[in-house]
Amino acid sequence: MDFYTSHTMRNYQNIRVRAYLQTSVVSDKFLPLDGILFYHFIRENFGAEEYTLARESNEKIYSGLKLPILPCGMRNKDDAWFYACSFAQFPEDTIESSYDYSKRFDFQHAEYIQDKKAVVDIQRGKYKNYHITEYTRNAVYVDWFLNADKEKIENLLKFCTHIGKKTSQGMGAVLRWEVEEWHSDWSIRGENNKLMRAVPNEKSPYIYGLRPSYWHPRHQYKCIIPL
């Protein structure tokens, strides 16, 4: 395929990573594993930060670090490279659901507000009321396929106990991880040529992240995505 780099790396092999789930996952259907691994990779190299300042960027500090996963698309002049790591592959019997939660200001504690406002504004600001719907995916397990260093991936996953959003509320709890060799490279194209992740394509109408951090505008490109 045109976007593969010809560079090969020692100890890299085709693997399948499976997370056996204890609770529902709050995420979209993509849930890239390299994004999850990048978080633990940075913590391993720099330690846990107690806080992050507003508008602070660590991009220059982290830019030289690469995950132990095969990089692809390095020939592209527009820097649209990505890791050989599929998006999440949920089983066919996955059930999609949702739940709602709200935040309302507790007026019985108004006397303890430090700024001592005469009127508490619940339409905007830090005391604003809100109602949010979270969408969940309920499955026994979820798979990803990678071309990577199996041992290093296993070491990073030792510290990953949850995936997706709302982990502080117990969502996305992982019962155990399973990493095993796979017979083919399914990181980008799987069985029956199924597209397994986003791939850069200037003719595509879709824009999505190609590598961690997926939310970063510099990592988002026109690409074809699994639909």
Q: How far apart are the C-alpha atoms of 42 and 131, rounded to whole Å? A: 33
pTM score: 0.82
Please say whether the beta carbons of 206 and 223 come within 8 A: yes
* Banded pLDDT at 116 (limits 50, 70, 90): low
- CA 133 to chain CA centroid, Å, is 20
Q: What is the pLDDT of residue 138?
A: 95
Tokens of 106: 């507790």
Query: Which of 1-10, 58-67, 139-148 has the weakest average pLDDT?
Result: 1-10
What ranges do the domains of the chain cover? 12-47+60-94+139-224, 99-137
The structure tokens 């430090």 sit at: 114
Please say whether the beta carbons of 164 and 27 come within 8 A: yes
Q: How far apart are the C-alpha atoms of 109 and 151, rounded to whole Å? A: 52
pLDDT digits 0-9 by tens, 159-173: 999 999 999 889 999
The structure tokens 């992240």 sit at: 209
